[in-house]
Structure 1
Amino acid sequence: MCELLAMSANVPTDIVFSFTGLMQRGGNTGPHKDGWGVTFYEGKGCRSFKDPMPSAQSPIAKLVTEYPIKSESVICHIRQANSGAVCLENTHPFTRQMWGRNWTYAHNGQLAGYKDALPVSVHIPVGSTDSEHAFCYLLDQLHFEFGSKQPSSETLYKFIAKVSSTINELGVFNLILSDGDYLFAYCSNNLHWITRKAPFGEAKLIDAEVEVDFKQETTDKDIVTVIATQPLTNNESWHKMTSREWQLFKLGESALSGSEACAGSPNDTAEI
Structure 2
Amino acid sequence: MCELLALSSSRPARLSLSLRALASHGDMDGVAPDGWGVAFYAGHDVALFREPVPAAHSPLVQYLEDQGPRTQLAISHIRHATHGAVSLANTQPFVRELGGRSHVFAHNGHLPGIWDNPGFSLGTDRPVGETDSEQACCVLLGRMRGLWRDGMLPALSDRLALLEGFAAELCTMGPANFLYADGDVLFAHGHRRIQRATGKVEPPGLWMLQSLCADASTTAVQSESISVATTGQSLVLVASVPLTADAWQPLTSGQIVVVREGRVITPVA
| TM-score, normalised via structure 1 length | 0.84
Q: Aligned ranges for residues 68-147 of structure 1 at < 5 Å?
A: 68-117=68-117, 118-144=120-146, 147=149
Percentage of pairs with the same residue: 32
Question: Number of matched residues?
Answer: 251
Which secondary structure state, in structure 1, belongs to the residue aligned with residue 167 of structure 2? Answer: helix
CA drift at 1:203: 4.7
What is the distance in 1 between the residues matched to 2:249 and 2:10? 20
CA drift at 1:157: 1.7
Q: Indicate the residue corresponding to 1:227 in structure 2.
A: 238
User: Compared with structure 1, are the counterparts of its residues 9 and 204 closer, same or farther at alpha carbon in structure 2 (3 Å cutoff)?
Assistant: closer
Residue 37 of structure 2 aligns with an amino acid whose one-letter code is G
1:255 is the counterpart of 2:265:
yes
Which secondary structure state, in structure 2, belongs to the residue aligned with residue 195 of structure 1? Answer: strand
Counterpart contact for 2:38–2:75, Cα < 8 Å: yes
Q: Indicate the residue corresponding to 1:67 in structure 2.
A: 67
CA drift at 1:101: 0.7
What is the distance in 2 between the residues matched to 1:26 and 1:239? 19
Q: Indicate the residue corresponding to 2:253 in structure 1.
A: 243
Which secondary structure state, in structure 2, belongs to the residue aligned with residue 11 of structure 1? Answer: strand
Q: Over residues 41-78 of structure 1, what are the superposed CA-to-partner deviations in whole Å (9 max), with x where a residue is unaligned?
A: 01112111101111122111111001031001000000
Residue 194 of structure 1 aligns with an amino acid whose one-letter code is L
1:179 to 158, 168, 182: 182
Between 25-34 and 48-57, report the one with greater CA deviation.
25-34
What is the distance in 1 between the residues matched to 2:255 and 2:112? 21
CA drift at 1:26: 7.6
Structure 2, unmatched stretches of 5+, are 193-204
Residue 242 of structure 2 aligns with an amino acid whose one-letter code is P
What is the distance in 1 between the residues matched to 2:38 and 2:6? 9
Q: Indicate the residue corresponding to 1:194 in structure 2.
A: 209
Which secondary structure state, in structure 2, belongs to the residue aligned with residue 122 of structure 1? Answer: coil
Q: Indicate the residue corresponding to 1:49 in structure 2.
A: 49
What is the distance in 2 between the residues matched to 1:95 and 1:144? 18
Counterpart contact for 1:28–1:56, Cα < 8 Å: no
Counterpart contact for 2:125–2:142, Cα < 8 Å: yes
Q: Indicate the residue corresponding to 1:265 in structure 2.
A: none
Counterpart contact for 1:2–1:79, Cα < 8 Å: yes
User: Compared with structure 1, are the counterparts of its residues 193 and 20 closer, same or farther at alpha carbon in structure 2 (3 Å cutoff)?
Assistant: farther
What is the distance in 1 between the residues matched to 2:62 and 2:78? 14
1:218 to 230, 236, 256: 230
What is the distance in 2 between the residues matched to 1:111 and 1:103? 21
| TM-score, normalised via structure 2 length | 0.85
Counterpart contact for 2:38–2:77, Cα < 8 Å: yes
Residue 92 of structure 2 aligns with an amino acid whose one-letter code is H
CA RMSD, aligned part only?
2.3
Counterpart contact for 2:21–2:30, Cα < 8 Å: no
What is the distance in 1 between the residues matched to 2:67 and 2:26? 19
User: Compared with structure 1, are the counterparts of its residues 202 and 148 closer, same or farther at alpha carbon in structure 2 (3 Å cutoff)?
Assistant: closer
CA drift at 1:27: 5.9
